Amino acid sequence: MFHPLSKTYLDNPYDIFTALHTEQPIFFHEELKLWIVSRYEDVQYVIKDSETFSNSLSIVPISPVCPHALAAMKDFNPGNLVVTSDPPIHTRLRKAISATFPVTLKKANLYEDVIRKRVHQFLDRLSQKKEADLVTEFAQDVPILVLMEILGVPDEDLAKIKQFTREQVPFVWGQAPEEQQVEAARGTVDLFDYGRELVEKRLKNPSEDLISELIAYRNDEDEILTIQEIGGIVASYFSAGIETVRNLITNGVLQLLRTKGVWQELSQHPEKIPNAVEEILRYESPVTGWLRFSVKDSVVGGVEIPAHQRILVLLGAANRDEEQFLEADVFQIDRDNANKNLAFSAGRHHCFGSALARVEAKVIFEELVTRFPNMRLAERFQPNYVPNIAFRTLTDLPVVLF
């Protein structure tokens, strides 16, 4: 029985994906009250048709929210958010982000020096050790610090941002206990308050950062962008940009190390890393599922889906579909169509941070295979994942560096 929060699924969803493709590619999950879509063609159809399948409920918790968490968010009003809005609001917000954020590889490559500097800071510390946990000592901090520098946020705010975002994944996409829900609810409110405070500071003291660029883009016209919307964009950068890149790094290192000879091959041929990143995105998608909402009756893959239904599109399953990728369950860093993966979704809601994530991953893997060519998984390592329906998030990744 398919259940995306079960230990069987979390440990190895891929055998389940194969079964879904052949036996039940689209069905209604009674317990979760979600339609499940797993085949590449059907997933792509849903995520590209944003007029039928809205993103409006994508970050609404899948489980009942306890009274104390609801009370913590009683007056919370984030305003229009790019992740939950539909046209024409989404079009306007996306235009603002595209004008200021590195949404293309050409723009993202301009930040390669920033990324490499941050990576060096951490690897210099790790070089003093024989073993390390690449989650807690590397991957959970580097993506945040890169974003912080791009946004002009001081390093001393790192702990604060981590606290704000720590419990968001199980709260929204899992079955978090009450205490965790309350912490997540408070953190969400605090994160958006923090985003608004950063914008207020830049209104008084503009600088050379992306928050100041958003303010300049606004040109004092609410029709272009409101101050609240800028605060929401800033908060969204942190909530959206941390988990995905962290998972791309850690899932990538895990797969590269457990596939015989690949780590050494990349250390000798770093020019293969960009395509290896695409294969990691396909094979171990950092985001395995995403939520959509049907605004009208529709037919997907020959199955009728009524209006007003929540839909879980399994991006990770789509990326293991044999109809799209030959030998889909084999990890091949030279796969010629790896870049056809749907790890960052597609259509209007294609992840705006995908280019920056790809550049971050490229730089990080370049530096890791150069600095630690003989790195290996620690013998004690047993994969353990955070229970949720959206992200493939390792809790730890102990490695032997030398």
Cα–Cα dist 167/187, whole Å: 8
User: Hey, where are the domains in the chain?
Assistant: 7-400
CA distance 94 to 81: 10
Neighbours of 177 (CB within 10 A): 10
* Residue at token pair 């020019």: 271
- Residue in 51, 85, 353 with CA at minimum distance from that of residue 225: 85
Residue 339 in tokens? 């870049």
Read off the tokens for 363: 């730089």
106 burial class (0-12, 13-18, 19+ CB within 10 angstroms)?
Answer: exposed
Q: What's the predicted TM-score (pTM) here?
A: 0.96
Residues 6+ apart with CB under 8 A from 371: 123, 127
Q: Are 86 and 215 in contact (CB under 8 A)?
A: no
3 state SS of 50 = coil
d(CA 202, CA 238): 17
Radius of gyration of the chain (CA): 21
DSSP-derived 3-state class of residue 29: strand
pLDDT block averages, 10 residues each, the chain of length 402: 93 97 97 97 97 95 97 96 94 97 97 98 97 98 97 97 95 97 97 97 96 98 98 93 93 98 98 98 98 98 98 98 98 98 96 97 98 97 97 98 96
Here the tokens at position 31 are: 């317990």
Is 340 within 8 Å of 68 (Cβ atoms)?
no
CATH of domain 7-400: 1.10.630.10
- How crowded is residue 318: how many other Cβ atoms within 10 Å of its Cβ? 31
- Tokens representing 384 are 């353990």
pLDDT value of position 240: 76
Q: Cβ(248)–Cβ(133) under 8 Å?
A: no
Q: How many CA atoms lie within 13 A of 223 on its CB side?
A: 0
The DSSP call for residue 338 is G
| pLDDT of the residue at 229 | 98
Strands 131-133 and 298-300: unpaired
Distance between CA 250 and CA 295 in Å, rounded?
Answer: 36
Task: Give residue 68's pLDDT.
Answer: 98
Residue 315 pLDDT? 98
- Contacts of 366-369 with CB under 8 Å at 24 or more apart are 366/270, 366/273, 367/116, 367/119, 367/120, 367/123, 368/123, 368/253, 369/263, 369/266, 369/267, 369/270, 369/273
CA distance 296 to 309: 9
